[in-house]
Amino acid sequence: MNNKILLINPPMTYLTSVEPIRLAQPMGICYIAGVLERAGYDIKLLDAHAEGYYGRQKLGDRTQVGLSEKEIRDKIMDFNPAIVGVSSMFTDQYHNAKMVCKAAKEANPEIITCMGGVHPTLVPEEVLKDPNVNYILRSEAEYSFLDFCDWQIKEKNISPEKIDGLNLNPKEQWIKNLDDLPFPARHLLPLQKYFEAGKAYREPSKREPAFPIITSRCCPASCRFCATHLMQGYYRERSVDNVIAEMEYLIDNYGMKEIYFLDDALAHGNFRQILKKMIEKKFDVVWHGANGIAVYSMDDEIIELFAKSGCYKVLLAIESGVQETLAYMRKPVRLEKVRAVVEKIKSYGMKTESLFMIGLPCETKESMQNTVKFAESLNLDYATFPIATPFPGTDLYKDCLEKGYLVKDYKYENLKFGIGNIQTEEWGPEFVENLRKEAWLRINKIDSANLD
């Protein structure tokens, strides 16, 4: 019986002029690999992005980073798995996930392909039309993928109609106790490649080696532009002891010196207890929250805990400088609180950064310009201006579709935060893209390269 399973993180394609080439250990497939390994499967991970990180090919205004289709196909042939699982976490990278499934079928038509991640969760019917994709698993999939493998490989008496989130099956089961999951199977990754790249996701790490950690899933908020509830269900936390145990494991086994937290909602719930325990244990680490931190979760106590536990910069998800725009987003931020939070963070010597989204369908040219003015008034160390991006399945997408605001050439490859995909009666992509560039360069005092 062939019980080999290969999980693949595809290469990535970047806009050459405006996107930094990021790199992060793929936690989604690492968590799934840990569950499969615990169940006795012969599991291997292929991070085609990291393995070919320095293999870069120019494709017009884009840069392809990672292993080539031939290299991926050869690696699949060498391992000869029964199942190839392909991660498709970003809609703009879906073409790369499709390419990996094609390579798997070319390596061996008998291989069973299964795609998971955000994109197949958002548009399952479309993904299933691809002849190289046998199955998809939607949303959180550690245990549903295990059921799938038990059905396909061990031929257990499992009805495919009962496998949670398989193809168009209802997604009803969420992992209630995240502590039941094994730690991510990082030992199956080429860790040295991440360390050599010196990246902590989007930017250079401060200390090496740097590792991602996720302490919670989903988010208590329900922002109009976000798909996290479709992917992760509802907000849950790991216990303090479980998170600290993972930190100790990474320190003891790999000498971890930096953490970049990948939570969607860092600083909620028990995060301050985690910080207190880090301080108590005197961990020799620095850290930051790579996906942003909710302003409304910040108070004097937690800001002090940030500083004492090793935080060196705080990326605040302020999102807009206009209260009405925040209300449209369903973002529970009060602008009158923001300035005091920024000043308090600065008082501890931590860098202040923030995200400001522009180009929402409720906005006018004036309101976007007011957001830029507000960002400039805060005197942040760095400000980013992602353009509102209508991903399929989100309420933002539904709003734009209903109002006829999607651009005529709307396509997945252009769903990037540097490209405008919304056209209203007053403004369109050109205005938003120019405003973004102007704001970015003026506020951050940088040249035009690598805007992120």
pLDDT digits (tens, 9 = 90+) for 141-183: 999 999 999 999 998 889 999 999 999 999 999 999 999 999 9
Q: What is the mean pLDDT of the chain?
A: 95
When pLDDT is averaged across residues 15-27 and rounded to a whole number, the result is: 82
Neighbour-count burial for 176-192, b at 16+ CB within 10 Å, e otherwise: eebeebeebbbebbeee
Identify residue 101 by its one-letter amino acid code.
C
CB 238 within 8 A of CB 178: yes
pLDDT digits (tens, 9 = 90+) for 293-319: 999 999 999 999 999 999 999 999 999
pTM, two decimal places: 0.95
- Nearest Cα residue to 243 out of 261, 228, 229, 257: 261
Give the Cα-Cα-Cα angle 400, 401, 402 (nearest 5 degrees): 90
Residue 8 has pLDDT above 90, yes or no: yes
User: Cα dist. 451→71, 386, 438 in Å?
Assistant: 30, 10, 11
Rounded CA gap, 89 and 211, in Å? 19
Q: What is the pLDDT of residue 435?
A: 97
Phi, psi dihedrals of residue 48, rounded to the nearest 5°: -70, -20
Which of these ranges, 70-74, 100-104, 196-200, 300-304, has the smallest mean pLDDT? 196-200
In sequence order, the 6+-apart residues with CB closer than 8 A to the CB of 294 are 221, 265, 266, 267, 268, 317, 332, 333
> What is the DSSP code string of 8-57?
EEPPEEEETTT----B---HHHHHHHHHHHHTT-EEEEEEHHHHTTT-EE
The top-level CATH class assigned to 198-388 is alpha beta
Helices 365-377/429-444 angle, 10° precision: 10
- pLDDT range class, residue 447, cuts 50, 70, 90: low
Superfamily of domain 4-162: Cobalamin-binding domain (3.40.50.280)
- Cis, bond preceding 209 (omega within 30 deg of 0): yes
Helices and strands, number each (H, E), in the chain: 17, 18
**What does DSSP say about strands 216-217 and 236-237: parallel, antiparallel, or unpaired?**
antiparallel
Tokens matching residue 368: 């976007």
Query: What percent of the chain has pLDDT above 70?
Result: 98
- Nearest Cα residue to 416 out of 70, 63, 99: 63
Chain centroid offset of residue 88 CA: 11
Rounded CA gap, 201 and 214, in Å? 13
Going from N- to C-terminal start, the domains of the chain cover: 4-162, 198-388
**Token pair 């548009």 in the structure block, residue:** 123
Give the Cα-Cα-Cα angle 149, 151, 154 (nearest 5 degrees): 80
